[in-house]
Chains A and B, each alone.
Chain A
Amino acid sequence: MPLDTSTYSLALLRVDGRRWNELRRLHAQIRTQAAADGSSYLEMGHTKVMCVLTGPAEQNQSQRRGQTSGGGGSARDTASINVNVMIAGFSSVDRKKRGRNDKRTQELEITIAKTFSSIVHTHLFPHSSISISLHVLSSDGSLLAALLNAATLALIDAGIPMSDYIAACTAGSTSSHSASDDSADPLLDLNTQEEQELPYLTVATLGSSDRIAVLNCESRLQVSRLEGMLVVGVDGCKQVKQILDRVIREKGVQMIREGAVDRSDTMVMDLDE
Chain B
Amino acid sequence: MPRDAEPSLSERTFVTKALAEGLRVDNRKFDQCRPVSLTFGDEFGVADVSFGKTRVLARTSAEVTVPYADRPFDGVFTITSELSPMVAPSIEPNRPTETEVLLSRLLEKTVRRSGALDTESLCLIAGQKCWSVRVDLHVLNHDGNILDAACLAVIASLRHFKRPETTLDGEVLTVYTPAEREPVPLSWLHSPFCVTFSFYGEEGDIVLMDPTWLEEQLRVSSCTFSLNRHGEICQVSKLGGSAVDAPLFIQCAQTALSKSKEYTELLERKLAEDAKSRDKGGLMAELTAENDR
Contact = CB atoms under 8 A, between A and B. Distances in A.
Interface of A: 65-68, 70-72, 74-75, 101, 103-104, 106-107, 110-118, 177, 179, 201, 205-206, 209-218, 220-224, 226-227, 230-231, 234
Interface in B39-68: none
A177 B227 CA distance: 12
A104 B239 CA distance: 13
Contacts of B250: 226-227, 230
Given A107-B101, A179-B231, 13 more contacts: A71-B221, A110-B102, A115-B241, A117-B240, A118-B220, A205-B243, A212-B238, A212-B244, A216-B237, A217-B236, A220-B234, A223-B231, A226-B233
Contact of B231 (A72, A215, A222): A222
A217 B233 contact: yes
Overall SS of chain A's interface: mixed
Interface stretch (B105-113, B132-140, B147-155, B176-184): B105-113
B6 A75 contact: yes
B220 A71 contact: yes
B276 interface: no
Interface residues of B, number: 43
A66 B114 CA distance: 34
A218 B247 CA distance: 20
B245 A216 contact: no
Nearest to A106: B101
A177 B234 CA distance: 10
B107 to A, nearest CB: 11
Given A74-B6, A221-B232, A223-B233, A210 B242 contact: no
B240 A68 contact: no
A217 B235 contact: yes
A74 B233 CA distance: 36
B101 A215 contact: no
20 contacts: A103-B108, A104-B105, A110-B240, A112-B240, A115-B239, A118-B242, A211-B204, A211-B244, A215-B238, A218-B113, A218-B235, A220-B233, A220-B234, A222-B231, A223-B227, A223-B232, A223-B254, A224-B231, A230-B250, A234-B246
B246 A210 contact: yes
B242 A103 contact: no
B249 interface: yes
A223 B260 CA distance: 12
A66 B236 contact: no
Contact of B98 (A68, A71, A177): A68
Contacts of A70: 240-241
A68 to B, nearest CB: 6
B104 interface: yes
B221 A118 contact: yes
Contact of B240 (A118, A201, A230): A118
A61 B25 CA distance: 38
Contacts of A118: 220-221, 240-243
A182 to B, nearest CB: 15
Interface string B100-127: 0110110011000111000000000000
A209 B243 contact: yes
Nearest to A225: B233
**10 closest A-B pairs by CB:** A114-B240, A115-B240, A211-B243, A217-B236, A206-B243, A111-B239, A215-B238, A213-B243, A223-B231, A66-B1
The winner among A206, A215, A234 for most chain B CB atoms within 10 A is A215
Among B233, B238, B240, B245, residue most surrounded by chain A Cβ atoms (within 10 Å) = B240
Contact of A213 (B96, B236, B240): B240
Contacts of B115: 220
Interface in B229-284: 230-247, 249-250, 253-254, 257
Contacts of A224: 231
Nearest to A166: B243
Nearest to B96: A101
Nearest to A108: B239
A212 B243 contact: yes
A260 B245 CA distance: 40
Contacts of A103: 101, 104-105, 108
A230 B101 contact: no
B253 A223 contact: yes
